[in-house]
């Protein structure tokens, strides 16, 4: 029996936000090549994940689930081999209920058959959703069942649980063997969506239940969607796409809280600004840091303006002894944010050198606290090094 032990959050790309269930093999092959050519694979985005919609619409009775032959004419084994040949890992999707959220066959009652099929196709990651689940079986039993089925295949398969934080999942997720677990709603390319998730994250005690080998997952990165992509056309959201400043905020916070980094834009339309965000090596190193400590919110000592509820300061200690501090301003106008060193573990008499992880240059010397002006709907992320 083989197991995976994750020492850093998983990174990759997922098909959902761009294609929803409109998948086709030729386009997906193009996407994989494009990701590789642009350096995403080399930067660590190694899981290439199919979300819902790869399945044949009806399951043949008594069989493991099968793929849609029109969408994948050469088959999933061959598709997986192609991904592996490029150097990617192969991710797939299923659901703990009788149907998936998109109405395709779910794995309920077929967990062991399906897990074996995934292993036979060379799958390296399974995202496991929570629609159409039976009401008389506790969610934790269903997620344990698939976890068990995956382990029994003997193939190391990263298990990505997607029950949106229902049933207090943070209290039992580790009993299922899951390596990551969704803690809330789907991400969307809008300011409303990003700011409401940021607000919720600020109220959760992530450090208590997210860390090595089992990471809390606030859903996909939206950087680079730029209003494009199937989920952008659902008509359920009002307003324009989020924009680069918001993409920067989401990416920064995701890196700081040790979130899985799953891109979701169409990489064939990556702009230079998008690449600058998603390939920010200094922030990627923060996400992948060996200490595995998710950022925690710090008390804001002083605000020059009112409306502190829309401003947050987060701190993430790194294994080398530096501390990354993120100042997030959800207001529309600039704000001065100040956070004292004590909540980061330093003393008010300490002096630190700051380095700006977006501007990529030194950002001054601070004593006792860090104070910066942050533009509206934007963030400043600093790496602080204490003078010893
Ligand atoms: C939702 C899930 C999305 C996507 C979709 C597929 O439940 O949160 O991320 O996987 O199902 O139908």
337-372 per-residue burial string, b: 16 or more CB within 10 A, e: under 16: bbbbbebbebeeebebbbbbbbeeeebeebebbbbb
Please indicate whether residue 81 is annotated as part of the active site: no
Compute the distance from residue 121 Cα to the ligand 1 centre, in Å: 22
Pocket perturbation via mutation, ligand 1, pick of 129, 193, 219 by most ligand atoms within 8 A of CB: 129
- Which pLDDT belongs to residue 236? 59
Compute the distance from residue 87 Cα to the ligand 1 centre, in Å: 26
Q: How far apart are CA 99 and CA 277, in angstroms?
A: 36
- Which pLDDT belongs to residue 232? 82
Nearest CA to ligand 1 atom 3: 186
* CA-to-CA separations, 284 to 66, 120, 126, in angstroms, rounded: 36, 32, 23
- Which pLDDT belongs to residue 164? 97
In percent, how much of the chain has pLDDT > 70? 96
- Per the CB < 8 A criterion, the answer to whether 298 and 326 are in contact is no
Ligand 1 atom at minimum distance from 185 CA: 8
Q: How far apart are CA 158 and CA 143, in angstroms?
A: 13
- Over range 242-261, report the average pLDDT: 97
Does CATH number 3.20.20.70 belong to domain 11-287?
yes
* CA-to-CA separations, 380 to 17, 270, 358, 374, in angstroms, rounded: 27, 23, 7, 6
- Per the CB < 8 A criterion, the answer to whether 49 and 91 are in contact is yes
- Which pLDDT belongs to residue 237? 52
- Which pLDDT belongs to residue 63? 79
**Residue 292 has what DSSP assignment?**
-
The pLDDT of residue 239 is above 90: no
Ranges of each domain in the chain: 11-287, 296-386
- Per the CB < 8 A criterion, the answer to whether 261 and 287 are in contact is yes
- Over range 18-40, report the average pLDDT: 98
Q: How far apart are CA 375 and CA 125, in angstroms?
A: 39
- Which pLDDT belongs to residue 177? 97
- Over range 322-340, report the average pLDDT: 94
In tens, the pLDDT along 3-17 reads: 899 999 999 999 999
The pLDDT of residue 2 is above 70: no
Ligand 1 atom at minimum distance from 129 CA: 7
In tens, the pLDDT along 48-73 reads: 999 999 999 999 887 789 999 999 99
Q: How far apart are CA 144 and CA 138, in angstroms?
A: 10
Determine the 3-state secondary structure of 274 from DSSP.
helix
- Which pLDDT belongs to residue 303? 61
What class does CATH assign to 296-386? mainly beta
Nearest CA to ligand 1 atom 8: 186
Pocket perturbation via mutation, ligand 1, pick of 13, 16, 104 by most ligand atoms within 8 A of CB: 16
Which of the residues 21, 68, 114, 129 is marked catalytic?
Answer: 129
The pLDDT of residue 128 is above 60: yes
Which of the residues 24, 81, 120, 186 is marked catalytic?
Answer: 186
* CA-to-CA separations, 166 to 51, 95, 140, 183, in angstroms, rounded: 20, 15, 10, 8
- Which pLDDT belongs to residue 60? 85
Nearest CA to ligand 1 atom 5: 101
Compute the distance from residue 22 Cα to the ligand 1 centre, in Å: 14
Helices (H), 177-327: 191-203, 206-209, 244-256, 272-278, 281-287
Q: What's the predicted TM-score (pTM) here?
A: 0.97
- Which pLDDT belongs to residue 304? 57
In tens, the pLDDT along 162-192 reads: 999 999 999 999 999 999 999 999 999 999 9
- Over range 243-265, report the average pLDDT: 98
- Which pLDDT belongs to residue 165? 95
Compute the distance from residue 344 Cα to the ligand 1 centre, in Å: 36
| Ligand 1 first shell, C-beta below 6 A | 16, 51-52, 100-102, 129, 131, 162, 186
In tens, the pLDDT along 149-164 reads: 999 999 999 999 999 9
The pLDDT of residue 207 is above 60: yes
Compute the distance from residue 299 Cα to the ligand 1 centre, in Å: 35
- Per the CB < 8 A criterion, the answer to whether 283 and 11 are in contact is no
Please indicate whether residue 114 is annotated as part of the active site: no
Compute the distance from residue 55 Cα to the ligand 1 centre, in Å: 14
In percent, how much of the chain has pLDDT > 90? 86
Those residues with Cβ within 8 angstroms of residue 371's Cβ, 6 or more apart along the chain or in another chain: 302, 336, 337, 338
Those residues with Cβ within 8 angstroms of residue 288's Cβ, 6 or more apart along the chain or in another chain: 8, 9, 11, 44
């Amino acid at each position: 029996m083989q197991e995976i032990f994750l020492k850093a959050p998983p990174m990759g790309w997922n098909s959902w936000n761009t294609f929803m269930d409109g998948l086709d093999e030729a386009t997906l092959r193009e996407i994989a090549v494009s990701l590789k050519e642009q350096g995403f694979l080399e930067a660590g985005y190694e899981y290439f994940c199919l979300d819902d919609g790869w399945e044949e619409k009806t399951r043949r009775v008594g069989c493991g689930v099968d793929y849609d032959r029109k969408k994948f004419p050469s088959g999933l084994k061959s598709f997986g081999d192609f991904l592996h040949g490029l150097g990617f890992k192969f991710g797939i999707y299923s659901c703990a209920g009788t149907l998936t959220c998109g109405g395709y066959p779910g794995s309920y009652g077929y967990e062991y058959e399906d897990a074996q099929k995934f292993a036979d196709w060379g799958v390296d990651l399974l995202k496991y959703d929570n629609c159409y689940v039976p009401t008389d079986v506790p969610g934790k039993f269903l997620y344990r069942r698939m976890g068990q089925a995956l382990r029994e295949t003997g193939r190391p398969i990263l298990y990505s649980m997607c029950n949106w934080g229902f049933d207090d999942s943070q209290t039992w997720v580790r009993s299922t063997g899951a390596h990551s677990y969704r803690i809330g709603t789907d991400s969307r390319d809008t300011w409303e969506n990003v700011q409401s998730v940021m607000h919720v994250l600020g109220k959760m005690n992530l450090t208590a239940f997210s860390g090595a080998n089992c990471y809390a997952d606030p859903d996909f990165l939206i950087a680079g969607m730029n209003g494009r992509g199937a989920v952008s056309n659902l008509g359920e959201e009002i307003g324009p796409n989020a924009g680069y400043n918001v993409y920067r905020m989401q990416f920064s916070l995701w890196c700081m809280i040790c979130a899985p980094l799953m891109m979701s834009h169409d990489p064939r339309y990556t702009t230079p600004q998008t690449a600058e965000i998603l390939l920010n090596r200094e922030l990627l190193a923060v996400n992948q840091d060996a200490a595995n400590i998710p950022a925690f919110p710090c008390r804001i000592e002083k605000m020059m303006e009112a409306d502190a509820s829309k401003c947050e300061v987060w701190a993430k200690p790194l294994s080398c002894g530096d501390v990354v501090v993120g100042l997030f301003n959800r207001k529309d106008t600039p704000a001065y944010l100040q956070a004292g060193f004590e909540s980061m573990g330093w003393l008010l008499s300490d002096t630190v050198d700051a380095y700006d992880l977006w501007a990529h240059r030194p950002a001054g010397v601070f004593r006792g606290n860090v104070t910066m002006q942050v533009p509206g709907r934007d963030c400043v992320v600093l790496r602080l090094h204490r003078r010893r």
